[in-house]
Structure 1
Amino acid sequence: MSGIFGFFDQNFNENLMNSFLYLIKNTEYCITDKILNHLCLLGELDISGSKVKESTKVDEDDISIVCCGEIYNEGINNLKLEILRLYKEKQLHSLSNFNGSFAAAIYDHKEGKITLVNDRYGLMKLFYYYDNDHFCFSPKMKPLLAICSDKSLRDDSIVDFFTFGYILGDKTFFKNIHQLPSGSILEYSRNQLKITKYWFYEYDENYDSRSSDELISELGTLWQKAIKRRIQKNDRVLIPLSGGLDSRAILAEVLQITSKENIITFTFGHPGSFDFEIGKLVAKNAGVRNIELGVEMDSFESQYNISIEDIEGLIDATPYIALRGYKEMKKYGANIISGYMGGEIMGSHISSEMLDKTLKSELNYIDAKNIIFNKNSIYNLNDIKLLFNQSCIVVDDLEQSFENTLQDLITRKNYDMANFCSLWDYTQRQNKYIMTTLFRYRGSFKNLTPFLDNDLIDFMLKIPPELRFNKHLYTLMLLKTYPKLFEIPTKNSFGLKLKSHKKLKSLKMAILFSKTKINNASSILINKNIFLNKNKNYIDYDDFLRRNFEYNYYIRSMVFKVRERKYFNKEFIENIWKLHMSGKENYSMLFGLLVTFELFYESYVENNDF
């Protein structure tokens, strides 16, 4: 995805600016434009391989602007000029009407102010740093370290990371580096920083009361428009194809717009897994070329190092996808149409325990809080507490960090428990974790996100929970609009057709569950799994860590290194290693997070080559 960057210095230290620029140039992005206006440098970035030549402009105007991304609103032909108009008219809150993904930075020399804005959903990642003299921003964290002299880490971010697998809110590991929240206007002037949210997810609980047939029809129309806005007839597109609904929905509609020759799908996972096998089957039935990426079961040290450079410690660096194969997809094209947020906005995360409950009682609020925490935490709270050296990290910080994310939602007046839990998922797990997981190599690919079309989102924010539960409305729309492609079995139905009888689905689910139980027992008795977990499209690292010498050696060496860090309880880490290797417990995900933290610490905290 394209991006922007900027550097502001009260004293305009040219050496510092050049260090910042050097690190920008060492990302996978290409610099296309630089604007130097008095004490401020602004720049635009394109994905790697761009044929646009770098240019530099000295701007003496009162106001300079850089911008990236695209919007699909009729009547807006120049995104940069339109944002500049809104800024001058003090109407930046109107950005909520902009349908697309974008980010912009405005330097107002007369006001001595820098303004950053992004789209509703924060699809263009921006990190920023500021102190008494400097303000700088970039789509990657590493360039900011050229300016950031204090690399102190946040205790609450560390606790977040090992509890959820990512960091909550706009925090990063660093105390002085933050992420720009989605749908925001940031203003920096005279050492003061202010952030205003101009848009956030909020359900209209005066729900759309039309009939199911009418809602299905409108959902189908909005979905088709969302795809058509994002690709043209002759565009070459890449589609990550799984065994689920969302990527198939994308493929089904893209086939209506462009020729099969312009479409390439690619599938991940073990041969035999639902995603791998069903994805291949869908591609074959659609008549499009499919690239099988599979899994990469070697060179793990190299894979972890590639991953940490890409995700910068924001999520687990464990290679759950074929990292090398994914990057190789660039030779087939740069436009990836992603199913990001598809299942979630359609209702996949809603559970029966959320239905028919409101937050108008304190007891139900506590229930909602517990549901969110239990669904999203990786391990139980007791293990998390034992992981840390209590003299260094106060785990009670977890309570406040998590509570802060809930307090932000309370002001939105969504009282249905399903809506409240959904909002948390959208703003935290989806925005902080899933987006980073799916949008790999952001400087090499352009990710198109049709499920985040404004018209589609606004429609779904009026749909009651019972029609979103089990993706009910969405599934009916897909069966009606694309009957042929959705006759093929899905992962969602455990390898059966969507129309399969409930009893048959329950039986298939029971068989898969029993195989999981057998694997749990066999991991203790014979130290390996008997059955492939078909629901996983990645290596079963719990089992793999016990059986594969190369992986075991690398993880063990890194875990035994990180346990010496002041943050951790060395004895607890040694104990869970033994429990895991004996097959009595599974801790591979926690070990992956520990390895990620060690790599991050070595590369971003201890490394002084910035």
Structure 2
Amino acid sequence: MMENVKSYLYYGYLPNSMKSHELKNFLFLNENNIKDKKYIADITDNNNEKALIQQGINALKAPYQNLPTNSTHVLPLSGGLDSRAILGCLLEAGLKDQIVTVSFGTPGALDYEIGHYVAKEMGVPHEKVDLTQIKINQGDLINVIKHGGSWTYLLDAFYNRLLVNQFGKDATYWSGYMGEALTGAHLPKEKSKTWDEAKQYFCKRNRWTRSLNVLPEGITPESFLPEKPLMNQDIISYDEQLDFAVRQHACIKKIVLPSGYNYQTPFLHPEWVSFILNVPRKYRENQWLYKEILKTAFPKLFSLPTKTNIGLPLDAPQWQRLIRRVDLRARAAARRFLPGSSLDRNPMLNYIDFDGGLRSRLDLKEIVYDNIQDLKKRGTVDWIDMDSIWERHQQRKGNYADALLVLTSLEINLKVEDEQREEDRSC
């Protein structure tokens, strides 16, 4: 149990890994995959990028054959690429009248605003969910844990379940799960040469609590990861073995794919997985090939602003991106030094501003304070001074929302486990 506590505090989830055979099945690593690799190699050896892009378009559209027309197709539409790619494919499949798009987040943030703009441009119904108006209570969080959202980013899981709570079990839901990961968004600049190097990179990238060191002295986050690679890196790189088999499996899946509902995950279609994993690494770096596929397949959709390009279209010139980055840096400085100013809004925000919310929202403050006090009474995390973190955050001597939220989530998960043990004893 203590190992779980420590790894959860560091990662925000339990880094339980798939087994080797599970990862192979997940990615359809079989003879057909090898044949596709040879075919794609012929294209890339001849530097025929147009043919490669067309092959990618065919693979991207493969999951959208013979879709039911008597169902409501619910698509959470963010400012990123994957949900928009799904929208393009659904529209091309003739389902415009069955689609409902939904965006949730904070007004002014790109994930909240861009989805609405895209839906309006494409003429599909759209609903906005302003998360700043959604009150959070302990009972709802416990319910999330009991229904598939345990030991992950608890509030992320809570917000994602608002969708299924609204549309119910009769709808068909579409998720971009694994889209970003498979297309190269998480590739390091240089591929890790050894398993230890890959683990170090993974730990650096996946550290949830960055405001302070949450591990006791002598404990390293690498110790919670698999000791050996799951397979030869000639098949899947060490970096992606960890991303796919640990983070995507143990964390993201629990957040975005609530159990008990009809979720479609088109980026896990065998034809797409086989295609995108078999192209040479250089085409996947910075998602180059994926972006070219999307721009070619759906030119109108991807001429619109994206969060991926900091609020600009994918083809925006360098000078526009430079101006946008300067603006983002100015806003970041305002949040640090001029809280409450007109620039104190982060357009790149996911969900809500937890740092500010833990100072101003009574629902958040009550849940967090009560649970860290309960956790302190347990004595489970006696190396962290929770009262000091809370006071420093309230007094704006630092931003510790990441630490406070993971400590709260830890306590609520432990409460659910306590309750389950009691139920087991009484049976």
Q: Could you say which TM-score interval applies, normalised by the shorter chain?
A: 0.7 to 0.9
CA offset digits 1:233-288 (Å, max 9, x no partner): 45431111111111111111111113321111111111211111110111111211
In the alignment, is the contact (CA less than 8 A) between 1:165 and 1:378 conserved in 2? yes
Q: Does 1:214 align with 2:32?
A: no
RMSD in angstroms over aligned alpha carbons?
A: 2.9
Which amino acid in 2 is paired with 1:500? A
Query: Structure 1 residues 276, 332: CA separation in 2 closer, same or farther (over 3 Å shift)?
Result: farther
The TM-score normalised by the length of structure 1 is 0.62
Residue number in structure 1 paired with 2:84: 248
Which amino acid in 2 is paired with 1:473? L
In the alignment, is the contact (CA less than 8 A) between 1:301 and 1:554 conserved in 2? yes
In the alignment, is the contact (CA less than 8 A) between 2:13 and 2:151 conserved in 1? yes
Query: Structure 1 residues 372, 302: CA separation in 2 closer, same or farther (over 3 Å shift)?
Result: same
Query: Structure 1 residues 434, 529: CA separation in 2 closer, same or farther (over 3 Å shift)?
Result: farther
Partners of 1:162 and 1:381 in 2: CA distance: 12
**Unaligned stretches of 5+ residues in structure 2:** none
Larger radius of gyration: 1
| Regions of 4+ moved over 6 Å | 201-207
Structure with the larger RCO, 1 or 2 (CA within 8 Å, 6+ apart): 2
Query: Structure 1 residues 222, 399: CA separation in 2 closer, same or farther (over 3 Å shift)?
Result: closer
Partners of 2:372 and 2:182 in 1: CA distance: 37
Q: How do residues 254-333 of structure 1 correspond to structure 2 at under 5 angstroms?
A: 254-295=90-131, 296-318=133-155, 322=159, 325-331=162-168, 333=170
Which amino acid in 1 is paired with 2:375? V
C-alpha displacement of 1:587 = 1.9
The TM-score normalised by the length of structure 2 is 0.87
In the alignment, is the contact (CA less than 8 A) between 1:313 and 1:600 conserved in 2? yes
C-alpha displacement of 1:588 = 1.5
Q: How do residues 146-157 of structure 1 correspond to structure 2 at under 5 angstroms?
A: 154-157=1-4
- Pick which of 280-289 and 577-586 moved more: 577-586
Residue number in structure 2 paired with 1:551: 364
Q: How do residues 403-442 of structure 1 correspond to structure 2 at under 5 angstroms?
A: 403-404=226-227, 407-409=228-230, 411-414=231-234, 419-440=237-258, 442=259
Query: Structure 1 residues 571, 241: CA separation in 2 closer, same or farther (over 3 Å shift)?
Result: closer
**Unaligned stretches of 5+ residues in structure 1:** 1-153, 171-179, 185-195
Bigger helix share: 2
Partners of 1:420 and 1:371 in 2: CA distance: 10
Which amino acid in 1 is paired with 2:310? F
Partners of 1:514 and 1:298 in 2: CA distance: 31
CA offset digits 1:348-401 (Å, max 9, x no partner): 11243x2xx561xx6xx5543322210111235971224xxx8xxx835x4432
Query: Structure 1 residues 421, 505: CA separation in 2 closer, same or farther (over 3 Å shift)?
Result: same
Partners of 2:149 and 2:306 in 1: CA distance: 34
Q: Does 1:164 align with 2:14?
A: no
In the alignment, is the contact (CA less than 8 A) between 2:211 and 2:402 conserved in 1? no
In the alignment, is the contact (CA less than 8 A) between 1:478 and 1:486 conserved in 2? yes
Q: Does 1:609 align with 2:411?
A: no
Residue number in structure 1 paired with 2:198: 368
Query: Structure 1 residues 544, 600: CA separation in 2 closer, same or farther (over 3 Å shift)?
Result: same
CA offset digits 1:198-251 (Å, max 9, x no partner): 66687989873242111100000011112226x234543111111111111111
Bigger strand share: 1
C-alpha displacement of 1:570 = 6.2
Query: Structure 1 residues 546, 320: CA separation in 2 closer, same or farther (over 3 Å shift)?
Result: farther
Partners of 1:243 and 1:483 in 2: CA distance: 16
Which amino acid in 2 is paired with 1:436? K
Query: Structure 1 residues 415, 228: CA separation in 2 closer, same or farther (over 3 Å shift)?
Result: closer
Residue number in structure 2 paired with 1:455: 271
Q: Does 1:469 align with 2:249?
A: no
Partners of 1:255 and 1:399 in 2: CA distance: 44
C-alpha displacement of 1:321 = 5.5
- Pick which of 572-581 and 279-288 moved more: 572-581
SS of structure 1 residue aligned to 2:315: coil
Partners of 2:252 and 2:223 in 1: CA distance: 23
Q: Does 1:536 align with 2:364?
A: no
Residue number in structure 2 paired with 1:395: 219
Query: Structure 1 residues 429, 539: CA separation in 2 closer, same or farther (over 3 Å shift)?
Result: same
Partners of 1:279 and 1:254 in 2: CA distance: 16
Partners of 2:20 and 2:175 in 1: CA distance: 18
Query: Structure 1 residues 220, 197: CA separation in 2 closer, same or farther (over 3 Å shift)?
Result: closer
In the alignment, is the contact (CA less than 8 A) between 1:348 and 1:471 conserved in 2? yes
In the alignment, is the contact (CA less than 8 A) between 1:293 and 1:326 conserved in 2? no
In the alignment, is the contact (CA less than 8 A) between 1:273 and 1:536 conserved in 2? yes
Which amino acid in 2 is paired with 1:238? V
- Pick which of 366-375 and 261-270 moved more: 366-375
Partners of 2:390 and 2:347 in 1: CA distance: 26
Query: Structure 1 residues 166, 287: CA separation in 2 closer, same or farther (over 3 Å shift)?
Result: same
CA offset digits 1:400-441 (Å, max 9, x no partner): 32252xx134x423399xx3212211111111111111113x
Query: Structure 1 residues 522, 569: CA separation in 2 closer, same or farther (over 3 Å shift)?
Result: farther
